[in-house]
């Protein structure tokens, strides 16, 4: 732990922080296929990084209200290893004291002064809950990652409204009822409680709308503190944002119980992988003409316990549900290779599903790259060869079955009624199968 002193509005603030230097690859696991595509991103385990990097970017982590830097470090110390990590205790929390009234804008300016005092550029700022509000105000931030961010006003439940009404009456009567405070307001010093009352109902909708920084938004599907609807609204307001729903509540990126540590690690890796995917797609979009189609093709290698656990069936079911075209197949080294064609939103949702995987599996890593139309054409041919069919043969099969149905209809007069019905049913079934086979060229196919 270190302490950095900054002066803001004539007041000295001692900011407690911890830095974890960036590290570089020294023992990277070889991929099954060489890949020279610069738009390739991979989540790598900690043992692949052992040497410090002298030239690297910086990532700042901002905790939520009532939390501290230790919580954020616990969640993210093993990901984004190519960045210098800076974990900060905001004034009034953890080991950073505070005795003056502050606004959210004040907090953002103090963090900005902190970064300036260390002569660092915050390439990425990660903000959880209240920290998300501070993050979007940082002018120096190049990119933002929001985790169940505060800032959207939602209707308060009846129970909460009742508590507020009682508390107001008690204040008029000069009666102190501290048990009526929300969890976020409990155990706060008088000055921090005043700050809390000022910031709890801030509406950041307009600030979100004006923010043009590349932003990745992650949300817990069971979050009750900042409901999922708030995340979707922030995504709709921020034009340059991507949205991803994760399993869990307000602290979805942390282990909720001792047995959930691996799940928390996977959530942190999911956040890193999805952020990298968002970045890759933004870079690709900038390279494309505005008049070009926005369909993209991703090559995705799933690593971990992904064979013999129903991973390919899971991938196909997810693709069918989302509306993704492509293929999935086992590789000899135990990995699963996926090709996926679709628009950005569908592809991001699909990658999120591939991270989750089937219940019996455990995804340790996804290696994701964008491929060009030539590579996709080769994969289409591979699918056709696997099916042992060509488009012409499929069309011919379809025509033959249609003729068979017509012949069956003409023969109905000379056949007993029961035989006619049976043959008609068989012919319709054959025609249905031909149509089904024809559609596999536009489906997600399990190759082997």
Catalytic residues: 312, 330
Which residues are registered as beta bridge partners of 241? 215
Backbone angles phi, psi at 364, to 5 degrees: -95, -25
Query: Please, which residues have CB within 8 angstroms of residue 138's CB and are 6 or more apart in sequence?
Result: 108, 111, 112, 122, 125
Is there a contact between 159 and 103 (Cβ–Cβ < 8 Å)?
A: no
Is there a contact between 196 and 130 (Cβ–Cβ < 8 Å)?
A: no
Query: How many Cα atoms sit within 13 Å of 127 on the Cβ side?
Result: 26
Rounded to 10°, the helix 344-356/261-287 angle is 160
What token pair was written down for 265? 């690690």
């Amino acid at each position: 732990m270190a302490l950095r002193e900054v002066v803001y509005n004539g007041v000295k603030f001692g900011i407690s922080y911890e830095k974890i230097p960036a590290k570089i690859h020294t023992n990277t696991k070889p991929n099954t296929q060489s890949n020279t595509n610069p738009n390739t991103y991979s989540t790598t385990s900690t043992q692949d990084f052992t040497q410090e990097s002298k030239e690297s970017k910086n990532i700042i982590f901002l905790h939520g209200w009532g939390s501290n830097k230790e919580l954020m470090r616990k969640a993210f110390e093993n990901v984004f290893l190519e960045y210098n990590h800076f974990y900060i205790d905001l004034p009034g929390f953890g080991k950073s004291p505070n005795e003056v009234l502050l606004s959210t804008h004040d907090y953002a300016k103090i963090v900005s002064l902190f970064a300036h005092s260390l002569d660092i550029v915050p390439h990425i700022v990660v903000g959880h809950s209240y920290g998300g509000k501070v993050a979007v105000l940082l002018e120096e931030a190049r990119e933002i990652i929001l985790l169940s961010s505060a800032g959207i006003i939602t209707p308060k439940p009846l129970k909460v409204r009742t508590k507020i009404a009682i508390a107001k009456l008690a204040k008029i009567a000069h009666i102190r009822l501290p048990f009526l405070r929300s969890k976020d307001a409990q155990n706060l010093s008088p000055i921090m409680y005043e700050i809390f009352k000022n910031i709890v109902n801030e509406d950041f909708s307009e600030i979100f709308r004006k923010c043009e920084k590349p932003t990745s938004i992650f949300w817990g599907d069971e979050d009750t503190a900042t409901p999922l609807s708030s995340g979707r609204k922030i995504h709709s307001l921020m034009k340059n944002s991507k949205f991803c729903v994760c399993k869990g509540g307000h602290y979805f990126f942390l282990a909720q119980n001792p047995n959930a540590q691996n799940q928390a690690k996977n959530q942190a890796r999911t956040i890193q992988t999805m952020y990298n995917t968002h970045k890759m797609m933004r870079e690709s979009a900038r390279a494309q003409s505005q008049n070009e189609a926005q369909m993209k093709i991703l090559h995705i290698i799933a690593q971990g316990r992904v064979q013999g656990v129903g991973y390919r069936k899971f991938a196909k079911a997810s693709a069918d549900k989302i509306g993704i075209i492509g293929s999935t197949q086992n590789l000899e080294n135990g990995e699963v290779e996926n090709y996926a064609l679709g628009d950005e939103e569908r592809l991001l949702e699909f990658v999120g599903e591939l991270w989750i995987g089937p219940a019996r599996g455990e995804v340790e890593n996804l290696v994701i790259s964008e491929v060009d139309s030539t590579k996709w054409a080769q994969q289409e041919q591979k699918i056709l060869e696997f099916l042992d069919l060509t488009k012409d043969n499929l069309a011919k099969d379809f025509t033959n079955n249609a003729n068979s149905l017509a012949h069956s209809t003409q023969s109905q007069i000379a056949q007993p009624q029961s035989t006619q019905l049976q043959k008609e049913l068989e012919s319709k079934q054959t025609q249905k199968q031909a149509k089904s086979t024809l559609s596999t060229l536009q489906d997600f196919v399990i190759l082997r």
